[in-house]
């Protein structure tokens, strides 16, 4: 089943409760929360206190994407805040396996992401312990960028690797997803599609979510 996880980076930060209710009503499957530290990526967004506040006002699973250099240091905060999925980056400074194990042992779904220039092969050794893989289809840091075409091949390669090693692991993609390119991404093997501007920028958000998911 294909899922859509709208990125609240494109929401109105003064009205997050309203925008999360809107996403629920519009049929979103999860809410994607982009956490940036101004170091791993050149932008600062939100931290665990905001995730904790969001947890109180929505039933949507919280899909927390940590674009931070030192996830180890803040992990307990994001776990306690009520994250359902926690994604860390392979390129961060934490010991990857230990950090993923910590996420799992807290009963949270563990996910690992790679940036566009990191090869899919680095994921292989972690796949048996992953609930989800996140393939970045733009350079992380900002919403509203265009999908990088060579990343389509990486989605296919990841699909093949997941099917071979751990078919239960979900394949999520993030960055530049639109109503137009979603069908190709799904054909390539994506199962969870993050979409910020394509959902929040649409005049009919329910329609945009349904169209991205393929209804």
The distance of closest approach from Cβ of residue 40 to ligand DX5 in the complex, given in angstroms and rounded to an integer, is 10
Task: Give the binding range for ligand DX5 (CB under 6 A) out of 6-14, 124-132, 163-171, 207-215.
Answer: 6-14
**Nearer residue to ligand DX5 within complex by CB, 40 or 126:** 40
Active site residues: 34, 174
**Nearer residue to Zn ion within complex by CB, 139 or 165:** 139
**Judged by CB under 5 A, does residue 34 bind Zn ion?**
yes
The distance of closest approach from Cβ of residue 182 to ligand DX5 in the complex, given in angstroms and rounded to an integer, is 11
Task: Give the binding range for Zn ion (CB under 5 A) out of 57-65, 124-132, 161-169, 177-185.
Answer: 57-65
What's the 3-state SS for the chain?
CCEEEEEHHHCCHHHHHHHHHHHHHCCCCCEEEEEEECCCCCCECCCHHHHHHHHHHCCCCEEEEEECCCHHHHHHHHHHCCCCEEEEECCCCCCHHHHHHHHHHCCCEEEEEECCCCCHHHHHHHHHHCCEEEEECCCCCCCCCCCCCCHHHHHHHHHHHHHHHCCCCEEEEECCCCCCCHHHHHHHCCCEEEECHHHHCCCCHHHHHHHHHCC
The distance of closest approach from Cβ of residue 8 to Zn ion in the complex, given in angstroms and rounded to an integer, is 10
- The residue ranges that bind ligand DX5 (CB under 6 A) are 7, 9-10, 32, 34, 65, 138, 140-145, 174-177, 194-198
- The residue ranges that bind Zn ion (CB under 5 A) are 34, 65, 174
């Amino acid at each position: 089943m294909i899922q859509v996880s709208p990125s609240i980076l494109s929401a109105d930060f003064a009205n997050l409760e309203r925008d999360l209710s809107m996403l629920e009503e519009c049929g979103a499957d999860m809410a994607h929360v982009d956490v940036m530290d101004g170091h791993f990526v050149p932008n600062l967004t939100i931290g665990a206190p905001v995730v904790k506040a969001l947890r109180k006002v929505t039933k949507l699973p919280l899909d927390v994407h940590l674009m931070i250099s030192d996830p180890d240091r803040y992990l307990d905060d994001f776990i306690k805040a009520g994250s359902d999925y926690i994604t860390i980056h392979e390129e961060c400074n934490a010991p990857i396996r230990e950090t993923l194990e910590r996420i799992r042992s807290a009963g949270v779904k563990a996910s690992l992401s790679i940036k566009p220039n990191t090869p899919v092969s680095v994921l292989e050794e972690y796949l048996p312990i992953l609930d989800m893989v996140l393939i970045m289809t733009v350079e992380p840091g900002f919403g509203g960028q265009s999908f990088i075409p060579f990343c389509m091949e990486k989605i296919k390669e990841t699909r093949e690797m997941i099917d071979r090693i751990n078919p239960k692991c979900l394949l999520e993609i993030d960055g530049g997803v639109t109503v137009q390119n979603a069908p190709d991404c799904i054909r390539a093997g994506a199962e969870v599609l993050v979409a910020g501007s394509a959902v929040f920028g649409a005049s009919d958000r329910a329609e945009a979510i349904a169209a991205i998911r393929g209804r």
